[in-house]
Structure 1
Amino acid sequence: MAPYRRDADYLKQLFVEHDIPVDVCIDVAEIHDYLARSPGVLVATHEALTPDILKNVADHLASQPSWSEMPIVVLLDRTSNQIRVRTELARVWPRARQLFYQRPVTPVELISGVQSAMLARLRQRDVRDHIEREIELRRELNHRVKNILASVASIFEMTHRGANTLAEFADDFRGRLEALSRVHSAVFHAADEEVSISAIVDLTFEPYRLPGLSRVVTGGPEIMLTREAGTTLALCLHELATNAIKYGGLSTPEGRVSFTWSLSEDEPATLAIAWTEEGGPAVVEPSRTGYGTRYLKAALGSVFGMKPVMTFAPEGLRCTVSGRVSRLSRNP
């Protein structure tokens, strides 16, 4: 912001020559739009500091998130009362990182100051990204803990219904919890570069199998997946199983779940997977997309290269997706 003479043109040319992208704000009415873009650094000459500008910038600074402290470079006129200007700006702009230069200022000095301010701004945005990642991790952790607790409760009920003695119940329940623990160990601590899809399926569904009663039907050809693809698939299957325990095909004694996978014979070879539930409560499509559904769509879409199709049919949830085997296996 430099409203007098050709100051704005000169400053813009100087910044562009040093690979610093710059916008010039001439009309006070537009200052709100420029500030809404969250600029890296605001540069203003003394003449630009009108009451309207002071208020608009102050309003923007007051609305900043906690991580933000916008750098403001002020080019002071040498005839100005610099102490008074600094004191007043510190009062009206308390949430700004203020740098002052007395004109005439050398290009090297000004560019150096602006670049330093931009680096400080980048560090602030690193903090912002860290905070956002931490919030997302907390949401995911909360979601995972709820799913684990739901799985444990379901395993308890399944084991309780099939046990004849307390000792039998304790042994069976302990074994199922150990199996559930192995699922999480296999997901988060996989050491091999490749993992069998059938091994992932067996580990994931072992806690939900009952002797003489197959509530989870699985099947497909032997395929070796990369560790990344196998880990993602295990997480997605665990998500689907947990959802089935809470609301779907594993929430009632009569319910069933099927997970199958197949390879196409055409080139390029594709792997298709299908999850199908039946026998549970009538399914109603949710009015909003929950975290679990968003995760499934994003994770499966990333691994397979195609968006999964989730069908909320009344008889049971169905989830299908396919993709090139070359995306999923090192040796297709």
Structure 2
Amino acid sequence: MLDWVLILAPYRKDASYMASLLLEHGIRAQAVTATELPDRLAEFPGVLVVTHEALNPVAIKVIAQFLQDQPNWSEIPIVILLDRAAPQSRIQSALASAWPRSRQTFYQRPVAALELVSGIQSALLTRFRQREVRDYLERETELRLELNHRVKNILASVISIFQMTRRGASSVDGLAGDFAGRLTALSNVHSVVFNAGGEEAQLKDIIGATVAPYRAEGHSGIHTSGPDILVPRGVGTTLALCLHELATNAIKYGALSNPEGQIALTWDLSSDPDPVLTITWSEHGGPPVVEPSRVGYGTRYMRSALTSVFGERPEFMFAPEGFRFVVRGPLSRLAQKP
């Protein structure tokens, strides 16, 4: 907790007096015997107060062991109350040797109550600052691990996208163009999720960022609509790459190859006890649709990736009046995806 004081003062009522004094000023304090000292130190007090009478070899050794074992961020303040007649220089030198690099503050008894309370309050503030440093270091370590994990995932995605693009490429220029487009889709999703401030983002934002490059200035051949739905980062990345594939095919062979062509990209959520998300890509106004004689790698990727995410195979419908694509699955399944 770091916000309480441990008092080792075996002489008469010194311990109870100091505990009462500190409590009057809103500071929690606990008196302790030499036998109890190791266990109470393990509870990490904010400040340790030790009187001259308690400085025996056993107590000094116990405190020394605690100081040695405390974590790097910790430097517990030790307040030592010495009698006026005590050999103060010799005691300070001995404690500096027994407790090297420890934070020690010495008071000569009798000490004014206000002076003692002020000194302990200052020591607790120091302890609070140490705790802030500890929390900062822990958060920094957590962020570094998270960043390392995300960078590895991104690099794995880039490698996967390159392999997918390479297998379907017929020329170097085609490879470069398709690879750049897929990386852009990946980048757009990461931007959307980052701006959302978490591991989820609005589906409409992911879709909007993905189709934005295919919308001409002042005119859009892709019309999107659907309710607000949060999806995890991994699901958003998969959807973005698949929508990029659909848009690329529409530019080459479908509705976007014709100035008059239009695409309706919609999504809706059923009201069942386990809602089902349905995403539909519907083209019209383009050239007559002919089902390809062979299945390209992009289509195979979409089938595999979307089946994994949604739990159901997507539908590819090559109607003469316009290509149509539908994928659906339980929203609960999407929420479980990393």
Pick from 163, 166, 169 the counterpart of residue 160 of structure 1: 166
1:212 aligned partner: none
Residues 39-64 of structure 1, C-alpha deviations (whole Å, 9 max, x = no match): 10000111011111101110010011
- Structure 1 portions without partners, runs of 5+: 207-220, 242-259, 281-307, 310-317, 322-332
Q: CA deviation at 1:223?
A: 2.2
Q: Does 1:262 align with 2:269?
A: yes
Identify the residue that residue 224 of structure 1 maps to in structure 2: 228
Shift of 1:205: 11
Which residue identity lines up with residue 7 of structure 1 in the other structure? D
CA contact (8 A) 1:196 1:223 kept: no
**Corresponding residue pairs, total:** 242
Deviation at 1:265, TM superposition (A): 7.2
Name 2:139's counterpart in structure 1.
Answer: 133
* 2:28 corresponds to: 21
**Which residue of structure 2 lines up, in the alignment, with residue 7 of structure 1?**
14
Q: Secondary structure at the match of 1:44?
A: strand
Which of 228, 235, 255 is residue 237 of structure 1 equivalent to?
A: 235
Letter in 2 for 1:8: A
Mind listing any 5+ residue stretches in structure 2 that lack a counterpart? 1-7, 213-224, 240-266, 279-305, 312-330
Q: Which amino acid aligns with 2:18?
A: L
Q: Deviations over 1:161-197 (max 9, x none)?
A: 2111111111100111111111122222369xxx752
CA distance in 2: counterparts of 1:239 and 1:32, whole angstroms:
53
SS of 2:77 mapped into structure 1: strand
2:308 match: 277
Q: Does 1:107 align with 2:113?
A: yes
From the superposition, tell whether residues 86 and 183 of structure 1 become closer, same or farther in structure 2 (CA, over 3 Å).
same
Contact 1:44 1:74 in 2 (8 A): yes
Take 2:237 and 2:99, find their aligned partners in 1: how far apart are those partners? 49
Do the aligned partners of 2:49 and 2:78 also contact (CA within 8 Å) in 1?
A: yes
What TM-score comes out, normalization by structure 2 length?
A: 0.63
Q: Take 2:207 and 2:54, find their aligned partners in 1: how far apart are those partners?
A: 67
Q: Which has the larger radius of gyration?
A: 2
Q: 1:146 aligns with which of 143, 147, 152?
A: 152
Q: What is the SS of the residue equivalent to 1:224? A: coil
Determine if the alignment matches structure 1 residue 83 to structure 2 residue 81: no
* Distance 1:148-1:238 versus aligned 2 partners, 3 A rule: farther
Measure, in 1, the Cα distance between the counterparts of 2:268 and 2:232: 14
Describe the shift of the 1:180–1:239 C-alpha distance in structure 2 as closer, same or farther (beyond 3 A): closer
Verify the 8 A CA contact 1:41 1:72 in the aligned structure 2: yes
C-alpha distance 140-196 of structure 1, shift in aligned 2 (>3 A): closer
Within 5 A, what are the aligned runs for 1:49-88? 49-88=55-94
Cα deviation 1:69-128 (Å, max 9, x = unaligned): 110000101110000111111111113210000111011000000000000111111110
Residue matched to 1:283: none
Give the match's secondary structure for 1:176: helix
TM-score of the superposed pair, with normalisation by structure 1: 0.65
Aligned-residue sequence identity (percent) comes to: 49
CA 1:6–1:143: 2 relative to 1, 3 Å: same
Q: What is the root-mean-square deviation of aligned Cα atoms in Å?
A: 3.4
Distance in 2 (CA, whole Å) between partners of 1:174 and 1:264 is 39
Distance 1:133 1:200 in 2: 29
